[in-house]
Amino acid sequence: MQSEPSSPSAAPVPAAAVAYGCMESADIAAAVRLYLESFPHRVRRWFRDRAHAECFYADVFELMRMAYGPTCFAAHHGGRLVGYLILTVPHTSLTRPLWRGGFLLRVVGHVLTGRFGWSLAILAHAVAAVLRPAPPAVDGPHVYVVAVAPGYRSQGIGTALLFRARAACVPRFGQLWLYAEADNQRAVTLYERLGFRTVHADPTQHTMVWEFREDRFPPTERGQGGFE
Ligand SMILES: CC(C)(COP(=O)(O)OP(=O)(O)OC[C@H]1O[C@@H](n2cnc3c(N)ncnc32)[C@H](O)[C@@H]1OP(=O)(O)O)[C@@H](O)C(=O)NCCC(=O)NCCS
């Protein structure tokens, strides 16, 4: 589905008007804009300016989409991307998609021409962050990002995306996990209400695990009503 930039919705949209599916290439630009809007502090921390961040995250999201296509969930309203969730699944090759359609060459070109705007120090920091092992007691699928456009929040879209991720995991895995920034109280509260458990916390972030125990969920949240 072709995506346009997500714009605030003046009034709540009926749940049935939101279409859920998988992210497509055409969604990437809107997904990046929503990410930068949702996490401006990450842009400030890692990039000299927004243009560099846009280029970087467009490459990251495209790689994720090629690798984890069936678990990159998108919510559209009126043709616009209004929310998405990227779930990484263990034992999925991230290197194979690199060779698809000249993707690796494009990224190398972006690095060499300074399109990410990274200094060597930031590059080293980023590599260390990627290679850092997951915290103990955490394994299985990982929610890399979940975001809903500001005008569409508090309408159940984030919950619906999380339940889609959960449904995708259930046949093979007993849990999924994510990081939540310690000061993102709204997200932490939502996860706790759904039954996520904090297994590790430091001053900056919580590591939260969602174990799939069917008895936690009333039937309406298992696939009916506004959640699916
Ligand atoms: C965190 C985030 C993804 C939640 O998405 P969301 O769509 O607002 O989440 P939901 O609507 O499912 O649930 C949130 C709230 O809506 C309420 N809600 C759920 N379904 C609803 C419905 N059908 N109608 C009205 N309200 C509803 C929930 O009770 C909850 O209460 P709150 O407003 O007091 O928090 C969203 O706030 C966001 O994108 N934040 C910025 C990015 C971010 O922080 N991502 C998480 C990183 S860990």
| Model pLDDT, residue 179 | 93
pLDDT in tens, 116-126: 877 666 667 77
- Distance CA(160)–CA(62), nearest Å, equals 23
The angle that helices 157-169 and 185-194 make with each other, rounded to 10 degrees, is 50
One-letter amino acid of 139: D
- Distance CA(161)–CA(173), nearest Å, equals 17
**Choice between 112 and 198, residue whose per-residue pLDDT is larger:** 198
Q: Tell me which residue has its CA closest to atom 1 in ligand 1.
A: 187
pLDDT reading at 133 higher than 90: no
Share of the chain above pLDDT 90, in %: 53
Tell me the average pLDDT across 65-90. Answer: 96
Does 228 map to a domain? no
Tell me the average pLDDT across 165-189. Answer: 93
> Residue 201: phi, psi to the nearest 5?
-140, 135
pLDDT in tens, 100-110: 888 889 888 88
Enclosing domain of residue 105: 15-221
Total domain count, the chain: 1
pLDDT reading at 216 higher than 80: no
Are 82 and 15 in contact by the 8 Å Cβ rule? The answer is no
pLDDT reading at 136 higher than 80: no
Nearest atom of ligand 1 to the alpha carbon of 162: 12
A 10 A CB-CB count for 119 gives 9
Does 35 map to a domain? yes
Q: Look up residue 59 and give its two tokens.
A: 């490459």
> Best mutation site among 37, 77, 148, 192 for ligand 1, i.e. most ligand atoms within 8 A of its Cβ?
148
- Distance CA(78)–CA(152), nearest Å, equals 12
| Model pLDDT, residue 147 | 97
Does 9 map to a domain? no
What length does the chain have? 228
**Choice between 214 and 67, residue whose per-residue pLDDT is larger:** 67
Q: Tell me which residue has its CA closest to atom 40 in ligand 1.
A: 147
- Look up the CATH number of the domain holding residue 59: 3.40.630.30
- Beta strand 197-201 with 72-77: parallel, antiparallel or unpaired? unpaired
pLDDT band per the 50, 70, 90 thresholds, residue 217: low
Does 62 map to a domain? yes
Burial class of residue 20 in the structure, from the number of CB atoms within 10 Å of its CB (0-12 exposed, 13-18 middle, 19+ buried)? middle
Residue 152 CA to ligand 1 center (angstroms) comes to 9
> What 3-state DSSP class applies to 132?
coil
Q: Look up residue 221 and give its two tokens.
A: 């949240």
- Distance CA(68)–CA(77), nearest Å, equals 23
Are 168 and 71 in contact by the 8 Å Cβ rule? The answer is yes
Nearest atom of ligand 1 to the alpha carbon of 157: 7
Which of 66-75, 170-179, 218-227 has the highest mean predicted lDDT (pLDDT)? 66-75
Does 74 map to a domain? yes
Does 51 map to a domain? yes
| Model pLDDT, residue 24 | 96
| Model pLDDT, residue 3 | 43
Residues with CB under 6 A from ligand 1: 38, 146-148, 153-159, 178, 180, 184, 186-187, 189-190, 226
pLDDT reading at 11 higher than 90: no
**Choice between 223 and 36, residue whose per-residue pLDDT is larger:** 36
pLDDT reading at 222 higher than 50: no
> What 3-state DSSP class applies to 10?
coil
